[in-house]
């Protein structure tokens, strides 16, 4: 079984400032990692994913994340945020065994202020 912890429930930040959203996971097997974004009253949109290879993954809207196996982390970063980045961000993990469901963290609300 897997579990995901998003340490910050809310992250306020000013426009054009950098941001990091933290994600830690636990698993007894190797994992694949995902970040999704959810705008109000909408479904989840895939931002980026780590399946294998380079540990630095680039996604849409200028976001990137780094997989750190020793620290079991997959933090999401953006060097300069926009007002339009205000949303809920979810980290998710899937084990590489037979089970294919995603296990999500509790989410981090990113609030970008002008």
Partner 1 sequence: DTGVSQDPRHKITKRGQNVTFRCDPISEHNRLYWYRQTLGQGPEFLTYFQNEAQLEKSRLLSDRFSAERPKGSFSTLEIQRTEQGDSAMYLCASSLWSRETDTQYFGPGTRLTVL
**Residues contributing to the site for partner 1 (CB under 8 A):** 4, 32, 34, 36, 41-46, 49, 51-52, 90, 92, 94, 96, 99-107
**In the complex with partner 1, which residue's Cβ is closer, 2 or 73?**
2
How far apart are CB 99 and partner 1 at their closest, in Å? 7
**In the complex with partner 1, which residue's Cβ is closer, 3 or 68?**
3
Closest to 36 (Cα-Cα) out of 113, 103, 114, 112: 103
Task: Give the Å distances, CA to CA, from 69 to 9, 20, 43, 59.
Answer: 23, 18, 29, 19
**In the complex with partner 1, which residue's Cβ is closer, 41 or 54?**
41
Distance CA 114, CA 26 (A): 36
């Amino acid at each position: 079984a897997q579990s995901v912890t998003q340490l910050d429930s809310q992250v306020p930040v000013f426009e054009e400032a950098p941001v990091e959203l933290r994600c830690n996971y636990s698993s007894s097997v190797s994992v694949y990692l995902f970040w999704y974004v959810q705008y109000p009253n909408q479904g989840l949109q895939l931002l980026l994913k780590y399946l294998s290879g380079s540990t630095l993954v680039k996604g849409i809207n200028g976001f990137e994340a780094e997989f750190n196996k020793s620290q079991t982390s997959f933090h999401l970063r953006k060097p300069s945020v926009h007002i339009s980045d205000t949303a809920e961000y979810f980290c998710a993990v899937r084990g590489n065994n037979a089970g294919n469901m995603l296990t999500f963290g509790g989410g981090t609300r990113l609030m970008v202020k002008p």
